[in-house]
Amino acid sequence: MLQLILGGARSGKSRLAEKLASDSAFSVIYIATSQALDGEMNQRVAQHQARRPTEWGLIEEPVELARVLRENAAAERCLLVDCLTLWLTNLLLLDDSRRLALEREQLLDCLDGLPGEIIFVSNETGLGVVPLGELTRRYVDEAGWLHQALAERCQRVVLTVAGLPLTLKGTAL
């Protein structure tokens, strides 16, 4: 089963995804896409680590998400990817402008054949004003297009607001 959990900053999306992974009764591998490049991000990473059960596996991969999913998906396994918008940011900041399209295509192409359960967490950033700056506008556009393509492929899509899940597609929580 493929699930997409969307929400704003501090909306409860990661906590919901972690609960769904724990409730799956599968072994869990947490796939972290962030890069702790400053003190504030180190604190965020530490908060996420403190919440996770110690028996969960961890893979840190900021760019090659499709490869990691193909290598680790299994029938009795839950992969929790947190988060897609950090992954997207990592790709946007690379010197190779073609890499984003390549990695996005590989991600979308690999999903149909993956066994087990996969939960994607992502920030919904398209609900506000159009941002200033070319890179920021591109980020919002790319995130929106990625979310639409993933939502089409996922069996369940949930939007979290103030810690409350609203099921947009699939079986309600």
- The answer to whether 134 is a known ligand-binding residue is no
Which residue has tokens 């699939």?
170
- The answer to whether 77 is a known ligand-binding residue is no
- The answer to whether 40 is a known ligand-binding residue is no
Beta strands 156-161; 164-169: pairing state: antiparallel
Return the H-helix or E-strand segment holding 27.
Answer: strand 27-32
Catalytic residue among 22, 36, 48, 108: 48
- The answer to whether 11 is a known ligand-binding residue is yes
Catalytic-residue membership of 48: yes
Please work out, in degrees rounded to the nearest 5, the angle formed at the alpha carbon of residue 70 by the alpha carbons of 67 and 74: 150
Measured CA to CA in angstroms, residue 42 lies from 34, 38, 52, 88, 145 at distances of: 10, 6, 16, 19, 29
- The answer to whether 27 is a known ligand-binding residue is no
- The answer to whether 7 is a known ligand-binding residue is yes
Residue 173 to residue 165: CA distance in whole angstroms: 7
- The answer to whether 12 is a known ligand-binding residue is yes
- The answer to whether 10 is a known ligand-binding residue is yes
Catalytic positions? 48
Annotated binding-site residue numbers for GTP:
7-14, 32-34, 60, 82
